[in-house]
């Protein structure tokens, strides 16, 4: 039995918890973490997001639950004020143009809000994210097999079929979690070995496109300049990445970001301190969980809500499965730290 089938079966007996009313009602905040919104039928090798029909179904489900999404800044404010109830915020990392094309109209149609964390330096230079360069090379290569040493490990990767290329991608993504210069050298070597030279087009939004988010009343946050894993670079470089992204967003969009999404969810106490010193009000992680009134401003948890978290074994949107994922019903199953 697959993990998805098991979770779907478990979800059939899950009941969305009802909060007590009045003074006894607790305040809690669930932040949904997204990246991209794909056209239905789009099947990239690296699927970093949800299809537009699944995203629409998520918004409809939240509407029926009375949980129309707010921005992360709004949700954090409600939590700090201990406003009773379950609050849901929506977030998107990286700054892809499909957020504006596909997510924004659906959010506006339901009077929902979201926060978009922009990789400002890459948007400015029109740099293709390194994971897109890797996925593109694996999609386009005619090389049937690749062997290389990476991060102290010897990798032997068959590439003859699409399934093998998918497995190679899953092996290479964590192995490339290196300091930026080392990562870029390794990526150049991989693309050379795969005999793929020309890069794909950058799919991040340009500033004119991103301006539509501001006009629609969405929150724009920082996601550094060039998306390094922050604990792998010096304190000075962390400060440059965080402060530089805040300043560039302000110059291009006329708003000063209040929040930061740590690239890859990578941070430590020093990173959180630097973020605060840069004038930010909060930061979000990739740690799964729900935030209560004791949450730390620079360690807010988020929940991924991918296609796999919402579709039943037959590939149909499952309201029961999506609600169970939203409520953290599988946290213990996945080994996620759960509050007593």
* Distances from the Cα of 151 to the Cα of 176, 179, 180, 282, angstroms: 8, 11, 13, 33
User: If we measure between CA atoms, which residue out of 204, 222, 213 comes closest to residue 262?
Assistant: 222
Instruction: Give the domain ranges of the chain.
Output: 3-126+203-326, 130-193
The DSSP symbol for 300 reads: B
Q: Is the CA virtual torsion 51, 56, 59, 61 positive or negative?
A: negative
Determine the pLDDT at residue 340.
42
By CB atoms closer than 10 A (0-12, 13-18, 19+), residue 100 is buried
Evaluate whether the domain defined by 3-126+203-326 bears CATH number 3.30.565.10: no
> What CA–CA distance (Å, rounded) separates 66 from 29?
14
For residue 2, give both structure tokens.
């697959």
- Name residue, tokens 């994922």: 325
Question: Strand 291-292 and strand 282-284: pairing?
Answer: unpaired
Q: What are residue 333's phi and psi, to 5 degrees?
A: -60, -35
Determine the pLDDT at residue 4.
74
Determine the pLDDT at residue 336.
75
Give me the tens of pLDDT residue by residue for the chain, a chain 340 residues long. 777 787 877 787 888 775 554 445 689 999 999 999 999 999 999 999 999 999 999 999 999 999 999 999 999 999 999 999 999 999 999 999 999 999 999 999 999 999 999 999 999 999 999 999 999 999 999 999 999 988 778 899 999 999 999 999 999 999 998 899 999 999 999 999 999 989 999 999 999 999 999 999 999 999 999 999 999 999 999 999 999 999 999 999 999 999 999 999 999 999 999 999 999 999 999 999 999 999 999 999 999 999 999 999 999 999 999 999 999 888 887 777 655 4
């Amino acid at each position: 039995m697959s993990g998805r089938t098991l979770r779907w079966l478990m979800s059939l007996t899950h009941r969305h918890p009802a909060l007590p009313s009045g003074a006894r009602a607790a305040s809690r905040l669930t932040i949904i973490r997204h990246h991209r919104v794909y056209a239905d039928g789009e099947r990239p090798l690296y699927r970093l997001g949800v299809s537009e029909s699944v995203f629409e179904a998520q918004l409809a489900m939240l509407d029926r639950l009375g949980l129309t999404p707010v921005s992360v800044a709004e949700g954090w404010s409600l939590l700090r004020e201990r406003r009773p109830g379950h609050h849901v915020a929506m977030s998107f990392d990286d700054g892809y143009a499909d957020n504006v094309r596909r997510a924004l109209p659906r959010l506006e149609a339901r009077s929902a809000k979201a926060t978009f964390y922009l990789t400002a330096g890459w948007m400015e230079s029109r740099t293709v994210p390194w994971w897109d360069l890797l996925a593109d090379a694996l999609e386009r290569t005619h090389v049937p097999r690749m062997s290389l040493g990476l991060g102290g490990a010897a990798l032997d990767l068959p590439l003859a079929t699409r399934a093998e290329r998918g497995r190679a991608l899953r092996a290479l993504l964590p192995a490339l979690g290196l300091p930026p210069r080392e990562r870029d050298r390794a990526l150049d070597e991989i693309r050379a070995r795969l005999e793929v030279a020309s890069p794909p087009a950058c799919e991040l939004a340009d500033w004119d496109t991103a301006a539509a988010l501001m006009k629609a009343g969405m929150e724009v946050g920082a996601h550094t300049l060039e998306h390094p894993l922050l604990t792998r670079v010096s304190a000075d470089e962390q400060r440059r990445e965080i402060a530089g992204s805040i300043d560039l967003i302000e110059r291009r969009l006329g708003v000063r970001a209040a929040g930061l999404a740590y690239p890859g969810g990578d941070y430590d106490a020093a990173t959180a301190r630097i973020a605060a010193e840069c004038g930010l009000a909060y930061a979000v992680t990739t740690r799964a969980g729900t935030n209560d009134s004791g949450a730390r401003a620079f360690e807010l948890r988020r929940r991924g809500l991918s296609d796999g978290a919402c579709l039943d074994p037959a590939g149909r949107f499952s309201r029961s499965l999506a609600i169970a994922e939203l409520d953290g019903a599988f946290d213990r199953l996945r080994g996620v730290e759960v509050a007593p």
